[in-house]
Structures are given as C-alpha cells and as structure tokens.
Amino acid sequence: MKKRIPKSYFILIRYIILLALMFSLPLIYKIFTPLTVYSTIFLLKLFYNISAFNLNTLSPILIINSKTIIQLIPACIAGSAYLLLLILNLTVPMSLRKRLHTILLSFILLLALNILRIFILTVLYHNNFRFFDFTHKMFWYVLSTVFVVLIWFFVVKLYKIKEIPVYTDFKHLLKNVK
C-alpha cells in the first residue's frame, strides 16, 4: 500500500520555496526588464522614431523623435508587482499544473498591462500632456496596485480558486496540530 504524503508537507515546501523567492527580485528584473523594454520599443516604433541606449542595464533610455528622453527605471518594470502575484499564488493550495497556469497567466497579464501603461505615459509625456505628472502619479500609486488586485481576482475567478492566501494554509495547520 502506498503511503500518502501529508498536506502539511506540501504547505511547508511551498513556504520554503516562497522564502527562497523573496530574494528573487534581481532575477525578476533580469527577466522582465528586457521583455518590457523591447516590447515597449516595438510598440512605440509603430508611431515614432525611437533610439534606445543602455538596453543591457536596469535603467534603459529611449529617445523619441530625437527630442524626448524616457528612462525606464526599475520601478517602471514593476518587479514588486510580479513578486506580489507570485506570493499570492504560492500561499494558496492548488495543484502544480493549476499553479503553473495561474502564475503564467498572471505574469503575462501584468506584462501586457505594464507595457500598455508605459506606452500611454510615454505618448502623454512626448506630447507635453498638461496633466502628465498627475497621470503618472495616479498610474504609479493607484493603478499599479489596482492592476495586481484585478489580475489576482481575474485568475481566482477563472481558475475557480476558493482558498484564501495564507489563511487556508494556517487553518489547515491549526486543525492538524497534534
């Protein structure tokens, strides 16, 4: 007879992985900086003449029509948002297949929204939009958080996730303490 591995071990493994990933922000930036920058350049090139410099750094510079300079600092890449989506995902019990799907979908959605955000802000800045500073701060302080929350809620609904991050694991562990 095959002995089943207790659910508590899987919870422990997930949180050990989560602890290790807490220090993965440099890796997240290494992966998502080029994806974000090159996708943004591609989109901008549909409308403008773009020159790009320092593409292999954490703060690439884009020049639009030889007059507007845009520097994409690490905050533009939204590494913390990817990490938060990863944390939410790893603190909910689900099958490995479902987890991989939810992480992949969450990251793709965040990447697409982030590229769109950078594109819109770049166009506004290049066109000397009167309320650019206000719009930029709204995107930064409000919409970036809303993006993560909406992505998570969408994934939860799409994949019919009924569990609550951390709470469900904690409840299970308390119930099974001997």
pLDDT digits (tens, 9 = 90+) for 60-82: 888 999 889 999 998 899 999 99
Model-wide pTM > 0.85: yes
Type of residue found at 51: S
pLDDT at 6: 67
What angle do helix axes 144-158 and 96-126 make, rounded to 10 degrees?
A: 150
Residue ranges of alpha helices (H) inside the chain are 7-21, 25-45, 74-77, 79-90, 96-126, 132-138, 144-158, 167-175
Q: Tokens representing 14?
A: 């997930």
pLDDT at 178: 58
